[in-house]
Amino acid sequence: MKYLAFATLMAMLGAAVSGASDPGCPQYPAAARTELQLQLESERDFFQFSTRAGKKALRSAVKRNNFIDDQIFGKLEADGVAPAAMTSDAEFLRRATIDLTGRIPTPEEAAAFFNDTDTAKRGKLIERLLGSPAYTDQFTLYFANKFEVTSGYYSYIGLTGRSLFNKFLRDFVGRDRPFNQVATDLITAAGDADLVAPANFLSRGWQEGDPTQDTWDTLTDRVTVRMLGFKTECISCHGGRAHLEQINLWLSRRTRDEFWRTSAFFSRMNMTRISTDAFNQRLRFYYTDRDSGAYTASVNVGSPGPRPPRYGGPYEPRFILNGEEPQNGEWRKEFARIVTSNRQFAKATVNYLWAYMFNYGLVDPPDGWDLSRVDPKNPPPAPWALQVTHPELLEQLADYFIANNYSIKSVLRVLANSAAYQLSSKYEGKWDPAYTRYFAKHIPRRMAAEELFDALAISTQTETPMFVPGFEEPLMYANQLPDPTEPRSDSLILEFLNTFGRGDWWNNKRDPQPNILQLLYNMNGGQTVLRSFASNPSSPTNRPGRLAQSKMSDEEVVREMFLATLTRYPTDQELATVLRMKQGTRLDWISDLQWALLNKLDFIFNY
């Protein structure tokens, strides 16, 4: 009952300080606060379930592949929770291929995998995927989503800088550069943003029309969120204004001057605007550093910015996590050193990757760490619960990441090879919501906009070149596009990607949730309908047309269509139903079948 009372109190407090009654704090409107409060309830439910009286241990038949499995299945067994069965080959192939490359397998790849009798074929598949150009495409997009460098951001990031930054990320992913080095490059970039790729990360933090301090503050929040896993924007404004007491214990105890001392690491950075044309239609930045200066409260009274007035100072750098100060006057370089050497950098990175692969973080949301609730040796006071589901596993993953020289690929490899990742998304027996935090089954997700578009093209064999400024060769897949303004020359593809929640990396956040508009669009939109419609049997341009013209039997055609679209063969019942209900010409019913398969949930979702 005390937990219910606490939840009720939080809801009342949330309503009292909602976005509607507090327009000065747009970052935590009522809907966002409600979502976080539900997350807190989930954490308490998990704690209650895992510490319940009378629980009985069990032994799982799942074969453990690595230290991840020791932790996941160890807790499942200790708490008497049965895991789901292992995935079938079809489920695993589709899941791993989408997660690691952003694309679905071709029917040829699927058939070869199903026919392979090697007991080590899953591990070999993972290695092949990690070594593929498509892996580089997918994780270039992953980090592009994280850093959001888009030519749509004011006039300060042009096509040159955008494309340069994309190539920087592609090089990082393709060569598997240590992530701590990449983070250092982003924080310390100097020079012309049209020539120095990482400088565009800094340009993305520029706050147009506001005092310089707002840019420093925004960059600080972007670093803490993307590299350390926690938001600091709220305390940059008003120390929380009684918002954080209900949602983040650690941040509720932080102050504005603590934030300013962290933001001071950027205070010696010069951002010089350079005009690219005579009419100042396109500007870019040139970055240098001064050898003096600090974070001051003094701003132009004519342009005070959206934050409440600052006070005190000048403030010199002191890191918000441990109070560490710079060892010399090169403050940005010192900030990069302090951030990347702090253990939270490794823990946040592996948790982000875990959340990507498992669709739920060991700390969730992965950008919402509450650092007062992650140490089981120092638990939070009631009614708060630990935020991390498997503390020891998180530490082991951080150790593994550091020991492997901050290699992103090494972490993805160990995650994909775990039996925990390879559990089925189907669960036999009664499902308890608390099981989600045990990772007792795999949590399905709707494919991202780019993944869905590429799956549509691959399944129908309608890959189309997309011409993008700054790229010498046309791009064939949506996960190769450098930012959400592309392909600007094709409004139909833009419409598809935007409908499925791509966002714009600025004002509109990426939205992974399905909605009714997407369902109707997929059923009726030109991208789906035209790609499934085989209108020219004499010169087929897509898979339905080629199959209609082939000498394959109707049964073989149906099996091929299922394999190409859903990465599985039809069940006996599905096969019989299709053959019984086919109408019109061979071309007609094959096109109808293609359309129907593209609208099935097991096409749209990654299970």
When pLDDT is averaged across residues 437-460 and rounded to a whole number, the result is: 98
Secondary structure (3-state) at 193: coil
H helix intervals, 30-132: 30-50, 67-78, 89-101, 107-115, 121-130
- pLDDT higher than 60, residue 70: yes
In this prediction, residue 232 carries a pLDDT of 94
In this prediction, residue 456 carries a pLDDT of 97
Residue with tokens 């991208």: 527
How many whole angstroms separate alpha carbon 523 and alpha carbon 519? 6
**What b-and-e string marks burial along 121-157, b requiring 16 or more CB atoms within 10 Å of the CB?**
bbeebbeebbeeebbbbbbbbbbbbebbbbbbbeebb
CA 237, distance to chain mean position in Å, is: 27
In this prediction, residue 247 carries a pLDDT of 85
How many whole angstroms separate alpha carbon 294 and alpha carbon 262? 11
The tokens describing 496, both together, are 């598809």
- pLDDT higher than 80, residue 464: yes
CB 544 within 8 A of CB 594: yes
CB 91 within 8 A of CB 105: no
Q: Higher pLDDT residue, 244 or 291?
A: 291
How many whole angstroms separate alpha carbon 326 and alpha carbon 23? 37
- pLDDT higher than 70, residue 21: no
The tokens describing 585, both together, are 């010409």
When pLDDT is averaged across residues 391-408 and rounded to a whole number, the result is: 98
The tokens describing 242, both together, are 């009684």
How many whole angstroms separate alpha carbon 471 and alpha carbon 142? 19
Domains of the chain, by residue range, sit at: 178-336, 446-606
The continuous run of DSSP H or E covering 272 comes out as strand 269-275
How many whole angstroms separate alpha carbon 422 and alpha carbon 358? 10
The tokens describing 326, both together, are 């710079």
In this prediction, residue 534 carries a pLDDT of 74
Region of poorest pLDDT, from 102-116, 126-140, 525-539: 525-539
In this prediction, residue 77 carries a pLDDT of 96
When pLDDT is averaged across residues 338-347 and rounded to a whole number, the result is: 98
How many whole angstroms separate alpha carbon 402 and alpha carbon 326? 23
In this prediction, residue 27 carries a pLDDT of 59
- Give the confidence band of 337 by pLDDT, cuts at 50, 70, 90: very high
What one-character DSSP code corresponds to residue 172? Answer: H
Q: How does pLDDT run across 518-571, given as a tens digit for each residue?
A: 999 999 998 899 999 876 666 688 999 999 999 999 999 999 999 999 999 999
How many whole angstroms separate alpha carbon 549 and alpha carbon 543? 10
Question: Among 362, 383, 421, which residue's Cα sits nearest to residue 229?
Answer: 362
How many whole angstroms separate alpha carbon 385 and alpha carbon 42? 10
CB 68 within 8 A of CB 393: yes
- pLDDT higher than 50, residue 34: yes
All residues at 6 or more sequence positions from 493 whose CB lies less than 8 Å from its CB, including other chains: 453, 466, 478, 487, 527
- Give the confidence band of 113 by pLDDT, cuts at 50, 70, 90: very high
- Give the confidence band of 26 by pLDDT, cuts at 50, 70, 90: low
Preceding peptide of 537 cis, ω within 30°: no
In this prediction, residue 20 carries a pLDDT of 39
CB 245 within 8 A of CB 252: yes
How many whole angstroms separate alpha carbon 247 and alpha carbon 149? 29
Cross-strand pairs, 272: 286
Q: Can you give the pTM of this predicted structure? A: 0.94
Number of helices (H) and strands (E) in the chain: give both, helices first.
26, 5
- Give the confidence band of 4 by pLDDT, cuts at 50, 70, 90: very low
How many whole angstroms separate alpha carbon 70 and alpha carbon 80? 15
Q: How does pLDDT run across 265-279, given as a tens digit for each residue?
A: 999 999 999 988 777
In this prediction, residue 237 carries a pLDDT of 85
546: left (phi over 0), alpha (psi -120 to 50) or beta: alpha
Whole-angstrom CA distances from 279 to 210, 218, 275, 283, 285 are: 22, 28, 8, 10, 16
The tokens describing 396, both together, are 């082991």
In this prediction, residue 329 carries a pLDDT of 97
Whole-angstrom CA distances from 393 to 126, 269, 343, 455 are: 22, 39, 14, 34
The amino acid at residue 371 is L
Q: What is the DSSP string of 405-431?
A: TT-HHHHHHHHHHSTTTTB-S---S--
Question: Among 312, 564, 571, which residue's Cα sits nearest to residue 459?
Answer: 564
The amino acid at residue 110 is A
In this prediction, residue 15 carries a pLDDT of 38
Q: How does pLDDT run across 417-432, given as a tens digit for each residue?
A: 999 999 999 999 999 9
Percent of the chain with pLDDT over 70: 93
How many whole angstroms separate alpha carbon 502 and alpha carbon 495? 10
Exposed (0-12), middle (13-18) or buried (19+): which is 453, by Cβ within 10 Å? Answer: buried
How many whole angstroms separate alpha carbon 354 and alpha carbon 366? 9
**Average of per-residue pLDDT values in the chain:** 92
Exposed (0-12), middle (13-18) or buried (19+): which is 428, by Cβ within 10 Å? Answer: exposed
All residues at 6 or more sequence positions from 572 whose CB lies less than 8 Å from its CB, including other chains: none
